[in-house]
Amino acid sequence: MKILYQDPYLVVAVKPVGVLSEDDPHAACMPALLREHYRSSGEKDFIATVHRLDRVVGGVMVFSRRKDITGKLTAAVAAHEITKEYLAVLRGVPEKDRDTLTDLLFRDAAHNKSYVVQRMRKGVREATLDYTALETVDGLTLVKVRLHTGRTHQIRVQFSHRRLPLLGDIRYGSKAPCSTALWSYHLAFTHPVTGKQVDVTCPPPAAYPWDLFGADKR
């Protein structure tokens, strides 16, 4: 378990690809892994998920370690007071080196998939992100993404809609010998108790496709 920051109120840890963000009695999940970690060292083992990453996505997450802190962190997430930045590898090259993407997304819960639609209706929510292209190698582009909203599969579907699917993202149109190339690399927020800034970064693994790009770009 890789822990980047911890105190009696919260913990920031790295979620491996393939591990669930939320409690699940039938699969490997971050809350259970963190509880086991704290039990093994004789510490209180309360853990609550306050935001999520898709199963196929790895990287930095924050979890509550106290019941009275859970609501505060959840509210901060809902109010977009937590800076969340990602790295992604696109199959293709964006027309612009940097841009803001805004779409209307509809989530098909029955099939666990989201779609860009053209008009507002029940179940449709606006989604906005900023991206900056960092480097292009052999038709693959490394981008830095900052989310302004947190919709299901948002980064994946917004880029796929522009014919720039994330490498390895089979659900949204890209096949490759790797898992979906999306990594939560930076979180920053004001601590709900101390008022101090918590700012953590974790680069993606030094493996394909991340190792195609210069370390200074990751």
* Pairing of β 124-137 and β 10-15: unpaired
Contact 62, 48 (CB under 8 A): no
Q: Is pLDDT larger for residue 199 or for residue 110?
A: 199
Going by C-alpha positions, the residue among 49, 44, 110, 113 that lies closest to residue 77 is 49
Q: What is the pLDDT of residue 216?
A: 62
Q: What is the pLDDT of residue 147?
A: 92
The Cβ-side half-sphere exposure at 217, using a 13 Å CA radius, reads 19
Going by C-alpha positions, the residue among 189, 190, 159, 191 that lies closest to residue 172 is 159
CA atoms of 137 and 143, how far apart (whole Å): 12
Distance of CA 160 to the CA centre of its chain: 17
Query: What is this structure's pTM?
Result: 0.91
pLDDT in tens, 34-76: 999 999 999 999 999 999 999 999 999 999 999 999 999 999 9
Tokens of 164: 């720039």
Contact 158, 116 (CB under 8 A): yes
Least confident range from 6-20, 37-51, 123-137, 175-189: namely: 175-189
Q: What is the pLDDT of residue 215?
A: 63
Domains recognised in the chain with CATH numbers: 3-203 (3.30.2350.10)
Does the pLDDT of residue 218 top 80, yes or no? no
Percent of the chain whose pLDDT exceeds 70? 98
CA atoms of 151 and 52, how far apart (whole Å): 10
* Pairing of β 113-117 and β 197-201: unpaired
Report the mean per-residue pLDDT for the chain: 93
Neighbours of 79 (CB within 10 A): 8
